[in-house]
Amino acid sequence: MTWLPDTWSELFLVETPLLELAARGTILYFVILFLMRFMPRRTGGELATMDLIFLLLIAEAASNAFGEYRSVSEGLVLVLVLMGWNFAVNAASWRFRWIERLVSSPPIQVVRNGKMLKRNMRREFLTEEELMSALRQQGVASVEEVRVAYIEGEGAITVIKSH
């Protein structure tokens, strides 16, 4: 359905109470943050096709939960609420270690002394092919060359080679 304002002032008119907009944005921000904390990480810190689709679906679901807004101002309020919470959580996690642990996933060891830790890999849905690809990207030809490798909280794989 196409919507055109009768007057330009309607484009910026706020019809939904600001507190409701802030509450909707706050609830969705923290629910999605909480749910993402428990999702498996992906390798390489890059978005795979399925991850991108997943994020787009979250964005679509969240936009429907925000409600049907016809005003640019209401959309701007929601964006500012989300940006504000994102800034506040980042600042608080920098200042308070317990908040950092709450919102960030710890690194998980996936290789120790040249051996793949299959249980940890399975927990993160990390296949041998994905691990080997990440190792090759870091100049490692064989898992036996690795002293330790971790899948970091954001999904990147870090490697410490054996000497």
Q: Of 103, 118, 152, at which residue does a domain stop?
A: 103
CA-closest candidate to residue 106, choices 117, 120, 95, 96: 120
Query: What pLDDT shows up at residue 70?
Result: 64
Instruction: Identify whether residues 95 and 20 lie together within a single domain.
Output: yes
The neighbour count for residue 31, using CB atoms within 10 Å, is 12
Read off the pLDDT of residues 100-110 as tens digits, 9 standing for 90 and up. Answer: 888 888 899 99
Do 29 and 84 fall within a single domain? yes
Token reading at 14: 């706020």
Residue ranges in 96-147 assigned as alpha helix (H)? 97-103, 118-123, 128-137
pLDDT tens digits, one per residue of 65-88: 566 666 777 777 877 888 888 889
Q: What is the dihedral of CA 121, 126, 128, 129, to 10 degrees?
A: -170
Same domain, 77 and 128: no
Strand duo 108-112 + 115-116: pairing? antiparallel
pLDDT at 44 (0 to 100): 44
Q: What is the pLDDT of residue 119?
A: 96
User: Is the same domain home to 52 and 99?
Assistant: yes
Q: Region 52-67: what's the mean pLDDT?
A: 64
pLDDT of residue 56: 65
- Strand-pair partners of 109: 150
Q: Please report the pLDDT score of residue 98 as a whole number.
A: 92
- Side chain identity at 145, as an amino acid letter? E
Classify residue 3: in a domain, yes or no: no
Give pLDDT, residue 51. Answer: 60
Give 4-52 pLDDT, tens digit per residue. 556 777 767 778 888 988 898 888 888 888 877 777 766 445 555 556 5
Let me know whether 143 and 65 are in one domain.
no
List, for residues 108-149, the tens digit of each pLDDT value.
Answer: 999 999 999 999 999 989 999 999 999 999 999 999 999 999
CATH of the domain at 128: 3.30.240.20
Q: Which tokens is 152 given? A: 């970091």
The residue out of 103, 122, 139 marking a domain boundary is 103
| This prediction's pTM | 0.65
User: Structurally, how many domains does the chain consist of?
Assistant: 2
Q: Rounded to whole angstroms, how far apart are CA atoms 92 and 105?
A: 16
Domain of residue 129: give its range.
108-161
The Cα 71–Cα 25 span in angstroms is 16
- Per DSSP, what are the bridge partners of residue 157? 151
